[in-house]
Structure 1
Amino acid sequence: MVSPLMRAGETNSLMDVAGLRVGHARRVGGGFRTGTTVVLAPAGGVVAGVDVRGAAPGTRETELLDPRNLVERVHAVVLSGGSAFGLSAACGVVGRLADAGVGFPVVGGAVPIVPAAVIFDLGRGGVFRAVPDDTLGAAAYDAAAVPPERTPAPDGAAPVPPERAPALDGEAAAAGGKQDGAIACHHGPARGSIGAGTGALAGGLAGGVGTASALLPDGATVAALAVVNAAGSVLDPHDATLAGARYGLPGEFDHLGPPAPDEAQAWSPEHAPSFNTTIGIVATDLTLTKAQCGKLAAVAHDGLARAIRPAHTMTDGDTIFGLAACARPAPGQDELQDVLAAAADVFSRAVADAVLTATGRADAPAYLDVFPSALRSRP
């Protein structure tokens, strides 16, 4: 049960955790439908752990997060489309950090530590090898590194407002948008069909990037960012409501209700993708060890499984990173239990948010396109 004393942070996003910055870059058109999301650590990095539950993960630098291994802090985390090809987006982030002198100190310089995970979205823009690369990773880094009002747009294009992602595809043509594969960037709490979630699917619906945060009664913050690209259903099997929405804070999903029975009965997606993956980050401002960050990520997987059914299958690469910004003291045992419980809930909420804010397209309708009666009032 959600504590009546708990509330969302100012942005209801990962940026409510002190020092974390988030940037997204995407390419749509010209064969592309994919993107990259970068989470930058504050000065000095963050303590990090990871938990991989899917049987087909695409990851980088996750072994470094084992508590038995050397490196204690990471400097960024990359989430990307492009399957194994998309791991190269992390190279653009490593380059940017190295140019700034940020990294693990070694003789002669510093080596940035940048773990990464990817989803399978190959071919969703029409060309199988139209995938994120180091250029897209660098663009997402640049979007994260500047204030929202200065979100950069590559190639001289007009900046994209950070608060929402514009429609794409046929909808974009109607709105005068372009589909030439140019890079578009978003900063911070933006969510929906952006960044690593640009080409995502969620049980036949449009997937995307979702966020959520919680301020605990003692003042600690726990937040999540989810990239939802699931073969499993994100719907409650009884009434087609968003399964993750049941963990919402007061007022968060109150504008939604069960859709009309005829809409629920009519929904039957024909072709579920054969390769999938939901990836994400859960973070807190408390001081945790690497082992505790790993546990934070592990419990967040409970939230993933509550919101997506089934999860962690043989063709999923479900991976969650746990981050500790260490801006507040280490928790006591009881406080740590509250943080872990909140981690599961914020991840469930982030999954629901991703599906609710995603933009529909020809092969993947938005949730409210399929279930318009679920919208009871404007949020």
Structure 2
Amino acid sequence: MTAQLPGHGRITDVTGVSVGHVTARRRGWRTGTTVVLVAERPGEGATAGVDVRGGAPGTRETDLLRPGNLVQHVHAICLTGGSAYGLAAADGVMTALERRGIGFPVATTTAPGVVPIVPAAVIYDLARGGVFTNRPDASFGERAVRAAGSRVAEGAVGAGTGALSGTLQGGVGTASTVLADGTVVGTLAVVNSVGSVLDPSTGLPWEASSHRLRRPAASERRALADRLHAAQTPLNTTIGVVATSAGLTTGECSRLATTAHDGLARAVRPVHTMFDGDTVFAVATGAAPGGTADAAEARARAARLNAVVEAGARLFAVACTRAVVEARAVPGGPPSYRDLCPSAFTR
């Protein structure tokens, strides 16, 4: 009997968040795009922040998310394959949102308009389908917006289609929780890491406590260890989003993104190498606080923020682990964890 991982939730449990995948897994293609949408209609959006680590990032609109800048809300986050070329997918996200009237309102001398704010980050998956020029373009972003909904497929889908985790199939993972005060925190990770989420000595994830997996058979552990120690590509990155229903400022969102990297470090080892471009965005869909708080209110707010960032770090580790554990091998690609350690999934 196949074991089920525990109820883990998904990033779309956060009010106002939906996710769309576009997966290209045909001959010559192994790539895709994932969009985290935080605006369904004009006037909507989310406060956001970002933390970029690693030595080889590929990003767009991250400077905009620094505290103190003019634009305070984003409308979507685009995560995509294709390395720097894949950033073109964000153009398609903008086009789709503009058609819906969603974006930062601007006035011109002739007519009003909007500029959708769509930060983006990429993973390196060029030529993993066999053809270097097959990579996401603007059409991927447009289709991902149209596909957005509450269901979130995991594994080798969307931006995780061509992902690797060490020498195994990587992918997309998600998780969420509800805090004691009703605040929802959710995460989504695309794991394309130099390091691995798996401990070669046990055959289980480093963060195994959050998953109902059995210790694999000895022969499977040996096969896994051999695979993890095999030569691998140095061109990798883990990217993702942490979302919350709380109302946060841009600076607080940046703190949430920063602490999510702690979860990444718990789940993937090694992490933040010179060959990674690890990038985590944070979005808050609640109303940002305003005015000046007295001392008691400030302490209470700090405690609430601390609970959110702690949950974000823990859940990002879970999402990173699920990205690999839930992945199935893609034809022509590397084996998955399930291929090498099937006994981990049996009762």
- The share of aligned pairs that are identical, in percent, is 52
Aligned to 1:117, which of 115, 118, 121? Answer: 121
Classify the secondary structure of the residue corresponding to 1:117.
Answer: strand
Deviations 1:64-114 (A, max 9, x none): 000021110001110000000000000001011111111111113111100
In structure 2, the CA distance between the partners of 1:14 and 1:234, relative to structure 1 (3 Å rule), is same
- CA distance in structure 1 between the aligned counterparts of 2:273 and 2:200, rounded to whole angstroms: 19
- Which residue of structure 2 lines up, in the alignment, with residue 299 of structure 1? 259
Q: Which amino acid aligns with 1:332?
A: R
Q: Give distance in 2, aligned partners of 1:329 and 1:58.
A: 31
- CA gap 1:133/1:73 in 2 versus in 1, 3 angstroms: same
Q: List per-residue Cα deviations over 1:344-367 (Å, max 9, x = no partner).
A: 110010011111111114441111
Partner of 1:196 in structure 2?
159
Post-superposition offset of 1:8: 5.8
Alignment counterpart, residue 146 of structure 2, candidates 131, 142, 145: 142
Q: Tell me the amino acid that sits aligned with residue 122 of structure 2.
A: V
Q: Conserved in 2, the CA contact under 8 Å of 1:245 and 1:348?
A: no
TM-score by length of 2: 0.89
Cα deviation code 1:282-320 (max 9, x no counterpart): 010000000000010110000011110011111111000
Residue in 2 that maps onto 1:175: none
Query: How much does 1:271 deviate?
Result: 2.6
- In the superposition, the TM-score normalised over structure 1's length comes to 0.82
1:237 positional shift: 4.2
**What does residue 309 of structure 1 align with?**
269
Instruction: Write out aligned runs for 1:368-379 (5 A).
Output: 368-377=338-347
Structure 1 counterpart of 2:319, one-letter code: A
Pick one of 237, 249, 266 that aligns with 1:277.
237
AA at the equivalent of 1:89: A
Q: Which residue of 1 aligns with 2:68?
A: 68
Q: Is the 8 A contact 1:226 1:280 kept in 2?
A: yes
Q: Tell me the distance in 2 between the aligned counterparts of 1:75 and 1:8.
A: 28
Name the counterpart of 2:216: 259
User: Structure 1: which amino acid aligns with 2:335?
Assistant: P
- CA distance in structure 1 between the aligned counterparts of 2:50 and 2:208, rounded to whole angstroms: 25
Q: How big is the shift at 1:189?
A: 1.7
Q: 1:41 aligns with which of 32, 35, 38?
A: 38
- AA matched with 2:219: D
**CA–CA distance in structure 2, aligned partners of residues 139 and 264 of structure 1:** 40
Q: Distance in 2 between matches of 1:328 and 1:84?
A: 32
| Residues 349-364 of structure 1 mapped to structure 2, 5 A cutoff | 349-361=318-330, 362-364=332-334
Q: Matched residues in 2 for 1:100 and 1:317: separation?
A: 32
Q: Secondary structure at the match of 1:304?
A: helix
Long gaps (5+) in structure 2: 1-5, 291-299
Deviation at residue 19 of structure 1 after TM alignment: 0.9
Displacement of 1:261 after TM fit? Answer: 2.8
Across the aligned residues of Structure 1 and Structure 2, the Cα RMSD in angstroms comes to 1.7
1:190 and 1:328, CA in 2 relative to 1: closer, same or farther beyond 3 A? Answer: farther
More off after superposition, 280-289 vs 318-327: 318-327
- Give the aligned residue type for 2:14: V
Contact 2:328 2:338 in 1 (8 A): no
2:304 to 311, 322, 335: 335
Assess if the C-alpha contact under 8 Å between 1:40 and 1:75 holds in 2: yes
Q: Paired residue for 1:26?
A: 23
1:234 aligned to 2:197? yes
Structure 1 residues 327 and 20: alpha-carbon distance in aligned structure 2, compared to 1, 3 A threshold: farther
1:221 to 184, 187, 190: 184
Cα deviation for residue 259 of structure 1 reads 1.4
- Where 2:156 maps in the other structure, the secondary structure is coil
Residues of 2 paired with 1:315 and 1:230: CA distance?
9
- Structure 1 distance, partners of 2:24, 2:182, is 39
Cα distance in 1 for partners of 2:218, 2:256 equals 38
Q: Which range is displaced more, 50-59 or 356-365?
A: 356-365
8 Å Cα contact 2:98/2:116 also seen in 1: yes
1:328 deviation in Å? 9.1
Compute the displacement of 1:137 (Å): 0.9
Q: What SS class does the counterpart of residue 210 from structure 1 fall into? A: strand
Distance 1:91 1:41 in 2: 17
Q: Distance in 2 between matches of 1:244 and 1:214?
A: 17
Give per-residue Cα distances to partners, 1:111-147, cap 9 Å, x unaligned.
1100000000000100011000001111111001xx5
SS in 1 for 2:118: coil
How far apart are residue 375 of structure 1 and its match?
Answer: 1.7
For 1:142-196, what per-residue CA distance to the aligned partner results, in whole angstroms no more than 9, with x for missing partners? 001xx5xxxxxxxxxxxxxxxxxxxxxxxxxxxxxxxxxxxxxxx6321111100
What does residue 324 of structure 1 align with? 284
Q: Pick which of 363-372 and 198-207 moved more.
A: 363-372
How far did residue 335 of structure 1 move? Answer: 1.7
In structure 1, give the amino acid aligned to 2:328: T
- Flag structure 1 segments of 5+ consecutive residues without an equivalent: 1-6, 148-186
